[in-house]
């Protein structure tokens, strides 16, 4: 009686499983990365891996516009504009979230997309 | 005996060879998937910019992403500075306003935008009106002189508001003396229409670009578009799965100020000069034309749900209405594309 699986079949199955796992590992790694980008006048001036932040700190990318960085989140903490909409945006902690200080042309954005590709507001 | 052992050796060799080929096929297939994934990853380019006084998010799929993103930003700046902003010296609209009462030659693109906006002005019964410039300047929402104007000031400014005084030809515009155009309610949508033309001359296969609340979805790729939760601008209340179209949202949370115990938002009813007294928090309009989706979102916010349906139908547009009481109404053409993501909102049947 023939065996259901031959040795060769096991080799093939094992190869596929190993390769699939190897293929999945970088994806797993990428998905967990939370990277904030700070734009000034359309150029990225700072890229921060928010998960690697150990201690809270503040950046001043332009004219007194302050950005506070903590583990897993980032926000505008001071600005000279009248409406302070950037500060009111609060903490950004999810992929695709953006806050901007329009008068100073400073944008903070968390790279990637979550459940949505783009927001309409 | 000797023959049998020869057969076995050959058989084993054949099995090994078969196994080797199978393994190789698997390796090639998996590498193919890896390569396809890598190429796909490489072919996406994202960036963020500030243009037209708002945040522009760009996601491009295809090649030459970096150059295309730069061209996108330049194109939006051109729409603002050369064509549609009343603040920009020598833009088409600034020149029309500066020479109100006389014929002014402008670009055919500006004529096209004005023509579409006038059509929506007429079909909305004038609640939406691009000649509302003098009134919007009084309120100056989001500007340095934002304030609550007096009733007298508003009545005076309203005298210049009348879309039917604006006459256009293929290359010229004439407005009434003292009249002032404000294309702020269609500018970002019009920018999306110009971007669509730009992208068709690049190596972009698909794209999604947001110019403030107006979005261009380019190509066959489907995108999940989040409709912002009016109570929390960082979260979506629902998503629309769409491709190859334009989307615009108008909401009372965008620009507003509080005076006394009253909140004044920026969506002005051009027949009264005051913020529209609407039961809606927001409306999202989906339409092939960005100019129309933008104009319709403003017009329909002012008109409210019942009066908007015929207007939307006229332009083959669809909409998601979000009411202040968190009820959501969706026109038939979008019902299958909408997914609620925040359970505190109730979708009416």
Query: When comparing pLDDT for B101 and A89, which is higher?
Result: B101
From A33-47, B11-25, B235-249, B256-270, the region with the lowest mean pLDDT: B11-25
User: Does B131 contact chain A (CB < 8 Å)?
Assistant: no
Interchain pair A120, B19: CB under 8 A: no
pLDDT value at position B1?
42
Cα angle value B145/A105/A99 (rounded, 5°): 90
Cβ neighbours for A51, distance < 8 A, ≥ 6 positions apart: A32, A33, A34, A71, A72
Count contacts between A and B (CB, < 8 Å). 108
* CATH classification code of A34-110: 2.60.320.10
Interchain pair A117, B223: CB under 8 A: yes
Q: Give me the mean pLDDT over the B241-258 stretch.
A: 94
In A, which residues are within 8 Å of B214 by CB distance?
120
Task: Give residue B226's pLDDT band: very low, low, confident or very high (50, 70, 90).
Answer: very high
pLDDT value at position B97?
97
Burial readout B146-155 (b: 16 or more C-beta within 10 A, e: otherwise): beebeeebbe
User: Does B262 contact chain A (CB < 8 Å)?
Assistant: no
Q: How far apart are CA B238 and CA B335, in angstroms?
A: 12
Query: When comparing pLDDT for B100 and B17, which is higher?
Result: B100
Query: When comparing pLDDT for A3 and B170, which is higher?
Result: B170
pLDDT value at position B2?
44
- Kindly identify which residue of chain B lies nearest to residue A109, measuring between CA atoms: B48
Q: Give me the mean pLDDT over the B138-155 stretch.
A: 93
Q: At what angle do helices B305-314 and B290-303 cross, to 10 degrees?
A: 160
Q: How far apart are CA B180 and CA B270, in angstroms?
A: 13
Count other Cβ atoms within 10 Å, centred on residue B108.
10
In A, which residues are within 8 Å of B41 by CB distance?
none
Q: Is the complex ipTM higher than 0.85?
A: no
Q: Give me the mean pLDDT over the B147-152 stretch.
A: 96
Q: How far apart are CA B183 and CA B131, in angstroms?
A: 9
pLDDT value at position A13?
82
Cβ neighbours for B15, distance < 8 A, ≥ 6 positions apart: A6, A7, A8
Kindly report, residue by residue over B107-120, the tens digit of the pLDDT.
Answer: 999 999 999 999 99
Task: Give residue B6's pLDDT band: very low, low, confident or very high (50, 70, 90).
Answer: very low
Interchain pair B233, A19: CB under 8 A: no
Q: Give me the mean pLDDT over the A96-105 stretch.
A: 88
Can you give the three-state secondary structure of chain B, one letter per residue? CHHHHHHHHHHHHHHHHHHHHHHHHHHHHHHHHHHHHHHHHHCEEEEEEEECCEEEEEEEEECCHHHHHHHHHHHHHHHHHHHHCCCCCCCHHHHHHHCCCCEEECCHHHHHHHHHHHHHHHHCCCCCCCCEHHHHHHHCCCCCCCCCCCHHHHHHHHCCCCHHHCEECCCEEECCCCCECCCCCCHHHHHHHHHHHHHCCCCEEEEEEEECCEEEEECCCCEEEEEEECCEEEEEEEEEEECCEEEEEEECCCCEEEECCEEEECCECCCCCCECCCCEEEEEEEECCHHHHHHHHHHHHHHCHHHHHHHHHHCCCEEEEEECCCEEEECHHHHHHEEECCCCCEECC
pLDDT value at position B40?
57
Kindly report, residue by residue over B272-310, the tens digit of the pLDDT.
Answer: 999 999 899 999 999 999 999 999 999 999 999 999 999
pLDDT value at position B41?
52
Whether the predicted pLDDT of B5 surpasses 80: no
- Spell out the domain ranges in chain B: 222-349
Whether the predicted pLDDT of A27 surpasses 70: no
Average pLDDT of chain B is 92
Interface of A with B in 67-106 (CB under 8 A): 82-83, 89-90, 92, 94, 97-98, 100, 102, 105
Q: What are phi and psi of A109, to 5 degrees?
A: -140, 140
Cβ neighbours for B292, distance < 8 A, ≥ 6 positions apart: B116, B120, B189, B246, B315, B317
pLDDT value at position A14?
85
Whether the predicted pLDDT of B196 surpasses 70: yes
HSE-CB of B149 using CA atoms within 13 angstroms: 22
Whether the predicted pLDDT of B241 surpasses 60: yes
Is the Cβ–Cβ distance between B282 and B270 less than 8 Å? no
pLDDT value at position B17?
72
Nearest to B301 by CA among B326, B332, B333, B266: B266
Whether the predicted pLDDT of B25 surpasses 90: no
Whether the predicted pLDDT of B150 surpasses 80: yes
Whether the predicted pLDDT of B326 surpasses 90: yes
Q: How far apart are CA A43 and CA A48, in angstroms?
A: 15
Environment class of B82 (CB within 10 Å of its CB; exposed 0-12, middle 13-18, buried 19+): middle
- Spell out the domain ranges in chain A: 1-32, 34-110
What CATH class does B222-349 carry? Answer: alpha beta
Task: Give residue B4's pLDDT band: very low, low, confident or very high (50, 70, 90).
Answer: very low
Whether the predicted pLDDT of B7 surpasses 60: no
pLDDT value at position B42?
55
Give the nearest partner residue to B224 out of A90, A94, A116, using CB atoms.
Answer: A116
Kindly report, residue by residue over B71-86, the tens digit of the pLDDT.
Answer: 999 999 999 999 999 9
Give the nearest partner residue to B239 out of A11, A16, A116, using CB atoms.
Answer: A116
């Amino acid at each position: 009686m023939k065996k259901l699986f031959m040795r060769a079949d096991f080799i093939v199955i094992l190869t596929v499983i190993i390769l699939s796992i190897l293929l999945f590992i970088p994806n797993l790694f990428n998905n967990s990365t939370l990277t904030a980008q700070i734009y000034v006048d359309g150029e990225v001036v700072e890229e921060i891996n928010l998960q690697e932040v150990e201690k809270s700190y503040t950046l001043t990318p332009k004219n007194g516009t302050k950005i506070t960085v903590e583990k897993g989140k980032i926000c505008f903490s001071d600005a000279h504009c009248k409406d302070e909409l950037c500060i009111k945006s609060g903490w950004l902690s999810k992929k695709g979230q953006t806050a901007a200080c329009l008068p100073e042309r400073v944008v903070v954005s968390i790279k990637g997309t979550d459940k949505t590709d783009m927001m309409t507001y | 005996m000797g023959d049998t052992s020869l057969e076995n050796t050959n058989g084993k060799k054949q099995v090994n060879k078969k196994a080797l080929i199978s393994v190789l096929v698997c390796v090639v297939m998996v590498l193919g998937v890896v390569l396809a994934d890598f190429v796909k990853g490489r072919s996406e380019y994202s960036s963020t910019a500030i243009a037209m006084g708002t945040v522009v998010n760009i996601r491009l799929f295809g090649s030459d992403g970096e150059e295309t993103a730069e061209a996108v930003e330049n194109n939006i700046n051109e729409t603002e500075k050369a064509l549609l902003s009343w603040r920009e010296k020598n833009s088409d609209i600034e020149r029309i306003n500066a020479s109100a009462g006389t014929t002014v030659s402008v670009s055919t693109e500006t004529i096209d935008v004005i023509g579409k906006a006038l059509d929506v002005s007429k079909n909305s019964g004038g609640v939406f009106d691009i000649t509302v410039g003098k009134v919007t300047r009084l309120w100056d929402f989001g500007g340095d002189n934002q304030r609550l104007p007096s009733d007298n000031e508003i009545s005076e400014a309203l005298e210049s508001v009348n879309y039917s005084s604006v006459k256009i030809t293929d290359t010229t515009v004439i407005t009434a003396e003292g009249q002032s155009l404000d294309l702020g309610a269609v500018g970002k949508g019009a920018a999306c229409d110009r971007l669509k033309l730009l992208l068709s001359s690049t190596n972009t296969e698909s794209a999604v670009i947001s110019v403030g609340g107006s979005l261009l979805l380019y190509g066959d790729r489907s995108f999940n578009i989040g409709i912002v939760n009016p109570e929390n601008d960082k979260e979506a209340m629902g998503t629309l799965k769409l491709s190859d179209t334009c989307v615009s949202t108008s909401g009372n949370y965008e620009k507003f100020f509080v005076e006394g115990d009253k909140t004044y938002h920026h969506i002005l009813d051009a027949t009264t000069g005051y913020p529209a007294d609407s039961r809606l928090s927001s409306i999202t309009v989906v339409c092939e034309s960005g100019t129309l989706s933008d104009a319709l979102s403003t017009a329909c916010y002012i008109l409210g749900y019942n009066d908007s349906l015929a207007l939307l139908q006229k332009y083959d547009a669809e909409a998601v209405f979000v009411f202040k009481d968190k009820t959501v109404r969706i026109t038939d053409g979008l019902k299958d594309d909408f997914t609620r993501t925040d359970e505190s909102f109730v979708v009416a049947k």
